[in-house]
Every structure is written in C-alpha cells, then in structure tokens.
A and B are shown apart, each in its own frame.
Chain A
C-alpha cells in the first residue's frame, strides 16, 4: 500500500525543507518538517514506502543536501517527477534516495492514489487506475550507485571511484 503524494512544478529545496529547519542533521527532525508548507499532513501521515510525485524541475534552488536527506528520512520509496533540477538529482543519487523520471505516470496520477514502482525495471503501476508506465532508464553508472545505496557505499564496494 503505497500512497502518492502529488506536488506541482518547480518545488524548490526551501519548500522540501524550510531553511529554518535545515540547521539540523537530525533525521527525525528533518522528516517531521519535510514538505510542511505545501503538504501539512505529510510529516504526520507519510508511511514507509510511499511515493512523492512532482512536475518539472523538482528540487531546484540550493545545493544543500538537507532536502533529499529529509525525503529519505521520511521513508518515501522513490521520487517520480517530470524532471529534476540537476544538483538535487545528483545529491539524491549520492545519498541513496531513488529518483525516476516519468512524464506519463505524473500526468495520469492524482494525489492519494495507490501506486507500485519497480526500481530495477522502472515499471510504475497506478493500482487505483490500473495503468502502467515505463520510467526513463537510469544511466548505467547512476544505476550502480543507486544499487549500492549511495556513492559512499559504492566507493567502499569498488575500492575507488571508477
């Protein structure tokens, strides 16, 4: 049972975790205030495995990693967006927060529906409507980092960055 939390375009890092809360690196604190200004119920009601969906340019703004860290701490399984801001995308991959790009899934889903996402195949199934979508494939290098659970784990496994 994974619920969709739907957001619009240009959700910036200050919306994901407002600046006044990003002085902390405490995961519980970050999770509690994650998206508090746009989705006030999110911090209380999000369940492990839920999915955040968004429009274009998700995560624009600052290069600080509190934004993906807050989403990761909140337990969401994956972020599915029409597009991501570059630095956010890298930061998410680096800390092991899965991200998928899929126009169709976002355009054909609404907040509160049930969803299933297979991270290895990129197949996204909206269980409420029964529709299935294929996310854009990950770059093979990015896929390896994601599989390792983040870049630090990846380098530990490989012994170096290559």
Chain B
C-alpha cells in the first residue's frame, strides 16, 4: 500500500515501509560521470583502503552494475579535463568497469537497458531523477555517498513524502512537455518539493511518450525533488522492448497518501520561457519578443532526444538562422545522433547554419562547445537558467521548448514558435 515510491521500497525490502522512515537498501545501479567520478574514487579509496573486513578489498560491489559515463567534457577540451579522464580510465580498468562514451549519462543509462521499473539507482549527478520516467526510484547524491555505494552496493534513504502532479487535457498547438514542466515548476516553486518525491499521473501523462516523461522527471530536481516518477505502463514496456531482457515488476501506487496533489489542465497553457535566474520565473513567450538572443542551444538530458530534434528540424527545414545569432545542436546520445542523421535532421541543422556537436552535455555547464561572453544571452532547451552557468558570470540563460528555440534561431530574438509551425 502506498505511493509508487513506497511500493518500490517495500518491494525491495520485502516489507511495508512508511514515509519518513530511514532505510538502508541495496541499490541496483551506481552511476558517476567524468567530473564527479574523481571525488567518488577518493571516498571509495578512503573507505576500502586498509580494510580487513573481507569482501571489501578495494573492489567495487559489482563492476557490471557500476557505470562511469564520460559526457560532461568530451572530447576533452583542456589538458586538465584530459588528465581527469586519464585518471578515471585508470580506475575503471583497475575495477573492470567499462566506460560509456556515447552521450549524456541520463540518456545512455536508460537506452542501454540499465534502468527498469522498480530499480533503485543512485548517481553522482543531480539529474539522476530522470530515470523515474521508467518507474525506477533514482536520485542524485554527492561523491561520498556514491563512493560508499560503489564500495558496498548500498545506501541509506529517508523514505520521502510525495507530491502528486495530475496532468489532464491535451497540449494546445505549439505547447510541449517542456512548457507544461515550466508551469509545474512555477506552481511548486524552486524548493517546493525539497526532500519529496514527485509522482506524475493523469491522462496527459498516460498519452505521453517516454521521451516526454523524461523531460518531466528530469526537472523534478528544479523543485528540489528527490525523485520524479511515472508508473510503468504499456508505453514503458514498448520502450524497454529490445533494450533489456530482465524481468521487472509493474509497480503502481496503491491507495497512496500524497502530501499534496496539484492538478494542471494542459489545455489552458501557452508556449512559455523560464527567464533568468530561476526556473520558476515563467513568462509567456509573446511578452519576450524584444529580447535579443546571441546563441540558441538545442540539446541536453532535458530535450536532446529524437522528437525534440524532429520538432526543430521541421521549423528549420530549408531556412537559415538569423545572422545576429548562432546555433548549437547536440544530440543527447549516439543512438539519437545516428537516427537524426538517417532522417536528415542533422543536414537540415547544418544547412541552416548550426554547429552540430558530439553527443554529450555540450555547453550546458559552460566548459566548451559554445560558451557565452560577458553580457551575452542564450535561449536553450536546458533545465537550469542560473546566471553564468554557460560561461561568463554575467551571461544570461533563458529556457524554452525545442520549438521556441528553433523559432528564435530564425529571428535572433525570442519568438513564439506558433508563427513557424
């Protein structure tokens, strides 16, 4: 009995858990990426070195369920990044872990079939909550927690309370999952879900693709959420088909006790933009048309998937971007990159004047592939608009849907995508 989160914990522990209870559980997978692995290794070594208690002689708990993804700065942009990669590769070889270098961790983990319903997964990245779209409980942690999980295969949790977001209606013309997510963050606030899980349900969620569900769950952390979840259904099953042959439980909430229920009728929404510096600073796109944009960026774990690229390609087909802006496109994974290539999307972007980059995080954290100069402004499909995240501390970030980003690329100022659809 309980929320989906409680059902997952109860299933794992073989007994009914309660909200606010602290539990120690075995985790199914542990993940870290190129920038968080070095500190996790430090904690791992601190814990396992000189330990005589058997079973923990400096080895990870299970090399096949330990995943290191290189995505934040690939290919290495600086000597410092290259050195960091080299050191992590040495650790991975020593532990028989294969490094994944084929896109953003939060896209690659599910694509590879490493995430199934009912799993408990911890990752050294705050957007690990993305995996909840497949009905797993997944959350981001700091490097000591991840080092401990690599060493022991276990972690501790306080079973969180849950906020239920019920989405109804149909998406109006020009409105996408991203716009609905902004409305959710606007209502909940940037810390309204602190310590809490968010469960998305309702007829709109049921009709949505796994890709759109990823967008919702990805941004649970933008409200402080510990996890974002969607109960698995036929859509989940179809998506997992061919990615995994493991059996999984189709867990669902049973008489859940939610701390709060928020109902949103998507039919009432319009295209919106989250203005700097907070994600709940949501404004209808029409009110921002005078804002000039120096760079647009289509990509990231929030919106770098095939359907996102398809929407942008439809807008940009046969056109060229405005000379007063520049455009960066980074598919979230190699699988998506190849498919976008076959479908001709990449050609459309390149013809339009965009630079298309290697699957990974790209300029999302301002390390390479299109960083911003002092005072510059970007409109992106990212999840965070903290001032300075993409480059100079004074540069600003606006967030929008892939359609809004593509429309803006054509004009050089924030533009309502409905004009080009």
Are A139 and B22 CB-contacts (below 8 A) given A57-B191, A65-B39?
yes
User: Bound state CA distance, A32 and B347, in angstroms?
Assistant: 51
Docked-complex contact B156 and A91, CB < 8 angstroms: no
Find residues 110-145 in chain A having any chain B CB closer than 8 Å to their own CB: 139-142
Once A152-B46, A156-B47, A160-B152 are accepted as A-B contacts, the answer to whether A94 and B145 lie under 8 Å apart by CB is yes
For residue A60, CB closer than 8 A to chain B, the reply is yes
A residues 21-35 near B (Cβ < 8 Å) are 23, 25
Q: Which of A23, A64, A86, A161 has the most CB of B within 10 A?
A: A86
B125, B154, B191: most-surrounded residue (chain A CB, <10 A): B191
B372 contacts A by Cβ under 8 Å? no
**B156 proximity list for chain A (CB < 8 A):** 141, 161
In chain A, what residue has the closest Cβ to B194?
A86
Closest Cβ neighbor of B152 among chain A residues: A161
- Residues in B180-239 with C-beta less than 8 Å from chain A: 190-191, 194-195, 224, 226
Residues of B within 8 A of A150 (CB): 144
A1-39 contacts to B, CB under 8 A, are 10, 12, 14, 23, 25
- A87 to B386 CA separation, bound complex (whole angstroms): 18
Those of B30-55 within 8 Å (CB) of chain A: 36, 39, 42-43, 46-47, 51, 53
CA distance A161 to B24 in the complex (A): 7
Known A60-B191, A86-B194, A161-B154; contact A155-B145, beta-carbon cutoff 8 A: no
Stretch at the interface among B90-98, B135-143, B170-178, B307-315: B135-143
Interface size in chain A (residues, C-beta < 8 A): 34
Could you tell me if A63 and B142 are in contact, using CB atoms closer than 8 angstroms? yes
Min C-beta distance of A127 to chain B, whole Å: 31
Q: Is B155 an interface residue (CB 8 A)?
A: yes
Partner of A57, one of B51, B53, B155, B194: B194
* Chain A residue at smallest Cβ distance from B149: A161
Closest chain-A Cβ to B159's Cβ sits at a distance in Å of: 11
Contact B145 A91 (CB under 8 A): yes
Question: Out of B42, B51, B141, B190, which one reaches A156, CB within 8 Å?
Answer: B51
Digit string of A66-92 for contact with B (CB within 8 Å is 1, else 0)? 000000000000000001011100110
Q: Does B385 contact A (CB under 8 A)?
A: no
Alpha-carbon distance A105/B391, docked complex (angstroms): 39
Report the Cα distance A28→B212, complex, angstroms: 45
On chain A, the residues within 8 Å of B145 by CB distance are 90-91, 94, 151
Nearest residue, chain A, Cβ from B387? A14
Partner of A141, one of B22, B43, B144, B154: B22
Q: Are B140 and A63 in contact (CB under 8 A)?
A: yes
B84 to chain A, nearest CB (A): 10
Q: Main secondary structure on chain B at its contact with chain A?
A: mixed
Say whether B316 faces chain A, with CB atoms less than 8 Å apart: no
Task: Report the minimum CB–CB distance from A81 to chain B (whole Å).
Answer: 12
- Whether B224 lies near A86 (C-beta < 8 A) is yes
A91 to B46, CA, bound (A): 16
B46 to chain A: which residues have CB within 8 Å? 152
Q: Is the CB of A94 within 8 A of B195?
A: no
Give Cα distance in the complex from A60 to B225, angstroms. 11
Distance to closest chain B CB from A65 (angstroms) = 5
- Asked if A87 and B142 sit within 8 Å, CB to CB, the answer is yes
Decide: A155 and B148 in contact? CB cutoff 8 A: yes
- Are A86 and B226 touching (Cβ within 8 A)? yes
Query: In the bound complex, what is the Cα–Cα distance between A57 and B190 (angstroms)?
Result: 10
Contact B191 A151 (CB under 8 A): no
Query: Which residues of A are found within 8 Å of B53, using beta-carbon distances?
Result: 159-160
**Interfacial chain B residues near A94, Cβ < 8 Å:** 142, 144-145, 148
B144, B158, B224, most chain A CB atoms within 10 A:
B144
Report the Cα distance A57→B222, complex, angstroms. 13
- A85 x B191 contact (CB < 8 A): yes
How far is B190's CA from A142's CA once the two chains are assembled, in angstroms?
25
Chain A CB within 8 A of B126 CB:
yes
* Residue A62, interface by CB 8 Å: yes
CB distance from B88 to the nearest CB of A (A): 15
Q: Lowest 9 A-B CB distances belong to which pairs?
A: A91-B142, A141-B22, A94-B144, A57-B191, A65-B142, A161-B154, A63-B126, A161-B152, A159-B53
Residues of A within 8 A of B (CB): 10, 12, 14, 23, 25, 56-57, 60-65, 83, 85-87, 90-91, 94-95, 139-142, 150-152, 155-156, 159-162
22 contacts between A and B (CB under 8 A): A10-B191, A14-B386, A23-B80, A25-B42, A63-B125, A63-B140, A63-B143, A64-B36, A83-B194, A86-B195, A90-B145, A94-B142, A95-B144, A141-B22, A141-B24, A151-B144, A152-B46, A152-B144, A160-B53, A161-B148, A161-B154, A161-B155
Other A-B contacts than A90-B145, A94-B142, A160-B152, 10 sampled, CB-CB below 8 A, are A56-B191, A57-B224, A61-B386, A63-B126, A63-B142, A83-B191, A85-B194, A85-B224, A86-B226, A159-B53
